[in-house]
Amino acid sequence: MATTCTYTFALCLSLAFLILGSSASSTEADILLSFKDSIQDPKNSLSSWSNSSNAHYCNWTGITCSTSPSLTSLNVSNNLIWGPIPDQISQFQSLRVLDFSKNHIEGRIPESIGSLVKLQVLNLGSNLLSGSVPAVFVNFTELVVLDLSQNLYLMSGVPSDIGRLGKLEQLLLQSSGFYGQIPDSFVGLQSLTILDLSQNNLSGVIPQTLGSSFKNLVSFDVSQNKLLGSFPNDICSAPGLKNLGLHTNFFNGSIPNSISECSNLERFQVQNNEFSGDFPGGLWSLSKIKLIRAENNRFSGAIPDSMSMAAQLEQVQIDNNSFTGKIPPGLGLVKSLYRFSASLNGLYGELPPKFL
């Protein structure tokens, strides 16, 4: 062999690549087959995953490879697949997309997942994962989407190494079993556009400088937790913010008038908290605002007549606060408004005819 190689080095090299290539691909196919063996697939969605079929494994359902025989995307979303995430997942070193969402994937997230250093999308949302989420995120420097939402059996703190993911744009942890504090490290999530931590068991205060860290934020939702402390004051550092959800927590203190700097805000929901002080007047005249919900707090102040400038406003619920003054005539000028409920306040005057 050695002698042959000195004569035809190029041939040897390509032979070596062939051997390497075929062994890499048979390994990947083997891992996929043993994964298939370890799960239940009641819809038989993975029927093409078979070593007796003629199709190359790169052509199996849910698999994408790059030009070399290496797997770049494994997407078996929405198939009622039932079973654990195999430990061998770590061997798919080229994987950029791992989407197991909307199945019945159970058990713990294996720590071995942490060596998938090229991952851009990790979607394990809407499954039956349990236990706590391991600290596997430090290697995920390319991660853009992390979705662990709707895993009711998770019981986990929020791993603070998530805060190192400088390219992360979407962090979706809603409706799972996360408890404890939002880590201070989250200020490192400089590229974030969507943060959804709603419907968990989070407690404590929101990190001080969080609001000012997220310049590209479009949606910020921490509603339905047990968070306390004050309103995230610098949240309008993200000029593109459209959706702000803080409702059903224990937030207190007042909401600063600087909220009117969020000129793209469409949905503002702070109901069911312990907020007090004058309701920020500028909010009423934001040109894109559609929804204002602030019921069940202790807000005071009047509703300014300038609310007629909120030309997109559709729904207002401010019941059970301490608003005072006259219902402004401007209310009647907002043609898009279909719901205005303000019971249990100190308001007086007439509602425009269409609300009677």
Ligand X SMILES: *[C@@H]1O[C@H](CO)[C@@H](O)[C@H](O)[C@H]1NC(C)=O
Binding site residues, ligand X, CB under 6 A: 33, 51, 56, 58-59, 75, 77-78, 97, 99, 114-115, 117, 121, 123, 136, 138-139, 177, 179, 201, 228, 252-253, 296-298, 320
Torsion angle of the four alpha carbons 342, 346, 349, 350, in this order, in degrees rounded to the nearest 10: 20
Contact in structure between 299 and 253 (CB atoms under 8 Å): no
Closest CB to ligand X among 12 and 117? 117
Closest CB to ligand X among 101 and 285? 101
Question: How many angstroms separate the CA atoms of 195 and 171, rounded?
Answer: 5
Closest CB to ligand X among 114 and 245? 114
- In the complex, what is the shortest distance from the CB of residue 158 to ligand X, in angstroms, rounded to a whole number? 13
| Structure tokens given for 125 | 């949302």
Question: How many angstroms separate the CA atoms of 126 and 107, rounded?
Answer: 13
Distances (CA, A) of 18 to 6, 113, 300: 18, 28, 75
Provide the residue type at 87 as one letter. Answer: D
DSSP, collapsed to helix, strand or coil, labels residue 289 as coil
Question: How many angstroms separate the CA atoms of 171 and 158, rounded?
Answer: 11
Closest CB to ligand X among 140 and 284? 140
Give backbone dihedrals phi and psi of 282, rounded to 5 degrees, phi first: -65, -20
Contact in structure between 316 and 341 (CB atoms under 8 Å): yes
Nearest residue to ligand X by CB is 114
- In the complex, what is the shortest distance from the CB of residue 120 to ligand X, in angstroms, rounded to a whole number? 9
Burial 134-166 (b: 16+ CB within 10 A, else e): bebbebbeebbbbbbbbbeebebebbbbbbbbe
DSSP code of residue 18: H
Closest CB to ligand X among 199 and 285? 199
- In the complex, what is the shortest distance from the CB of residue 273 to ligand X, in angstroms, rounded to a whole number? 8
Position of tokens 């698999």?
63
CB count in 10 Å sphere of residue 324: 13
- In the complex, what is the shortest distance from the CB of residue 25 to ligand X, in angstroms, rounded to a whole number? 9
Question: Of 300, 309, 290, whose CA–CA distance to 244 is shortest?
Answer: 290
- In the complex, what is the shortest distance from the CB of residue 305 to ligand X, in angstroms, rounded to a whole number? 27
- In the complex, what is the shortest distance from the CB of residue 279 to ligand X, in angstroms, rounded to a whole number? 14
Contact in structure between 146 and 171 (CB atoms under 8 Å): yes
Closest CB to ligand X among 115 and 181? 115
Closest CB to ligand X among 201 and 306? 201
Contact in structure between 146 and 172 (CB atoms under 8 Å): yes
- In the complex, what is the shortest distance from the CB of residue 166 to ligand X, in angstroms, rounded to a whole number? 16
Closest CB to ligand X among 140 and 268? 140
Closest CB to ligand X among 84 and 253? 253
- In the complex, what is the shortest distance from the CB of residue 114 to ligand X, in angstroms, rounded to a whole number? 2
Question: How many angstroms separate the CA atoms of 282 and 15, rounded?
Answer: 72
- In the complex, what is the shortest distance from the CB of residue 76 to ligand X, in angstroms, rounded to a whole number? 8
